[in-house]
Amino acid sequence: MALTLRSSTSFLSPAAHKPTTTAGDDSPPPCCVSIPSPPPSATRRLRLTRAAPVEHLEAAPESAILHGGGGGGGGHGRRKGTPVYVMLPLDTIGAGGKLGRGRAMAASLMALKSAGVEGVMVDVWWGVVEREGPRRYDWEGYAELVRMAEIAGVKLQMVMSFHQCGGNVGDSCNIPLPPWVLEEMSSNPDIVYTDRSGRRNPEYISLGCDNVPVLKGRTPIQVYSDFMRSFRDTFRDYLGNTIVEIQVGLGPCGELRYPSYPEANGTWRFPGIGEFQSYDKYMRASLQAAALAAGHEEWGRDGGPHDAGQYKQFPEETGFFRRDGTWNTDYGRFFLGWYSGMLLEHGDRVLAAAESVFRGTGAALSAKVAGIHWHYRTRSHAAELTAGYYNTRHRDGYAAIAAAVARRGAALNFTCMEMRDQQQPEHAGCSPELLVRQVRDAARSARATLAGENALERYDAAAFAQVVATAASARLAAFTYLRMNKNLFDGDNWRQFVAFVRDMANGGERGAALPSCDTEQSDLYVGFLDAAVKRAAPEAEAAAAVV
């Protein structure tokens, strides 16, 4: 049930009210229920106490159906318009497992709620939760955030982030994989993705060893399953009501793809084609077996094409990706079929584990696919191919992805919803609009629920209008905005964002322009958050200060 804020006063019950501290205070805000000390067990599993009923909040009509109604990812309800979520900062729960800037977060959640935002998305970092050792889980910081969200009346999309943070577009902090996993990488470097020159990428465990016990006696799939099972058991009472969606991390940046365009150390630069990531010993063994089965043992000897170029090159500079290149030969079709097939199998394995864990909890599942729009207008679609999406001028690579996601009852979450073709550099061969349209059609054909995100942080009217139009035409189940930070709460940006949320809720039917002040509390979430306005409330100053 959606909740609507009707008062600009504190949303705390009188019994919970405590003296206000300064906006810069990082101690937990008064709206947080104290966290009980965890029992002295290896899992450090917490029993969460439900927060007291929230006062001063009025229930909205039952017609306001939440995104993610069914258990295990099914039953995404429909309502007029598209609910908007907002991504929280990447370091909301820091490397030590603590929720930082608690007062600012509490004020920010209240402000987002007042603007009509449905909820927020947060990364649940594997490197944070299981940092102390195998099966030793620390959920304390996330428990505090969940209770805070419940009190504010906002929903949560929680991402099972089995990847490293750092080294990609938008990464503002560094959160590596758990130390004990890094130790395993040091002793066995082949458990991470590897390119043709032997460069190792520690962002995510190579899918080539999904079913090999390379993590202290467990397979990566078993480790992911145990992690999700501990999460489910800890937050069972919140699944399906406060926690409405579980996005399952399937690769770098949480996306179902290979790390083919890493920005770390200048390895890749837009609009480079990227490189294939099939050179660790486990991927090589799989390729050799596939080549032998196809009756061409020689196709599996090198680990990948010898003429595919380098990260920063353009398609026509290579033998493999050029107009009439190797990609369109028998060998090219074999290799691309194997490479993309391995990615699909990996996604299915992890989603199957998630489906088993979260079935019957009421929380929906989703999987994220990257919007790789550069070189889309070429025949080979080189940048998509190196990422594992076998999509070319002659082949629809997203139909199989949408079908695989739908088979597990998950929503397909796609990026670059804010982009227009005319805004892209001509030499890059971009077409984000055609790409979004193709993915939309693939989702419809597969009867998969489609949700979206923006790829870049933007606050301009053109970007918001593009999202509104796309959401209406594609019937998006939800849209998650990137990202909550100080810029979002800037006066002009905030005003544009509030209007955007309203337009999304109206299904693209734009209403009258938002006045600077009116009698319906719109001034609450415009002037309320402008820290430069001296009459702003203390909570607004804290919200404007969050980074």
What are the pLDDT digits (tens) for 13-56? 333 333 333 333 333 333 333 333 333 333 334 556 454 433 33
In a domain, 357, yes or no: yes
In a domain, 182, yes or no: yes
How many domains does the chain divide into?
1
In a domain, 13, yes or no: no
> Annotated binding site for substrate, which residues?
123, 163, 171, 368, 373, 415, 454-455, 483
Cite the DSSP H helix spans in 50-139.
102-114, 126-129
Structure-token pair, residue 32: 């947080």
Contact partners, residue 217, CB within 8 Å, separation at least 6: none
Domain span at residue 373?
84-509
In a domain, 544, yes or no: no
In a domain, 4, yes or no: no
In a domain, 135, yes or no: yes
Per-residue pLDDT at 545: 55
Distance CA(515)–CA(312), nearest Å, equals 48
Of the candidates 469, 482, 409, the one whose C-alpha atom is nearest the C-alpha of residue 440 is 469
Mean pLDDT of the chain: 84
pLDDT at 6 over 90: no
The H or E element that residue 319 is part of is: none
Active site (catalytic) residues: 255, 453
* Cβ–Cβ < 8 Å for 139, 238: no
Per-residue pLDDT at 482: 96
Neighbours of 295 (CB within 10 A): 7
160 to 7, 123, 221, 232, 365: CA distances (angstroms): 35, 7, 13, 11, 11
pLDDT at 519 over 60: no
The fraction of the chain above a pLDDT of 70, given in percent, is 77
For residue 124, what are the β-bridge partners? 160
Q: Spell out where 63-211 has E strands.
A: 84-87, 119-125, 155-161, 192-194, 200-205
In a domain, 533, yes or no: no
Contact partners, residue 218, CB within 8 Å, separation at least 6: 134, 226
pLDDT digits (tens, 9 = 90+) for 303-348: 999 999 999 999 999 999 999 999 999 999 999 999 999 999 999 9
- The CATH number of residue 102's host domain is 3.20.20.80
In a domain, 465, yes or no: yes
Arithmetic mean of pLDDT, 104-112: 97
Per-residue pLDDT band for 173 (boundaries 50, 70, 90) equals confident
Distance CA(320)–CA(311), nearest Å, equals 13
Angle at 350 between CA 381 and CA 217, to 5 degrees: 120
Helix 330-358 with 220-234: angle, nearest 10 deg: 30
CA 218 to chain centre: 26
Arithmetic mean of pLDDT, 260-277: 96
Q: What is the dihedral of CA 99, 103, 108, 113, to 10 degrees?
A: 100
301 to 166, 275, 334, 376, 423: CA distances (angstroms): 33, 18, 14, 30, 43
Per-residue pLDDT at 26: 36
Distance CA(208)–CA(57), nearest Å, equals 50
Residue written as token pair 């820091």: 94
Angle at 102 between CA 516 and CA 126, to 5 degrees: 115
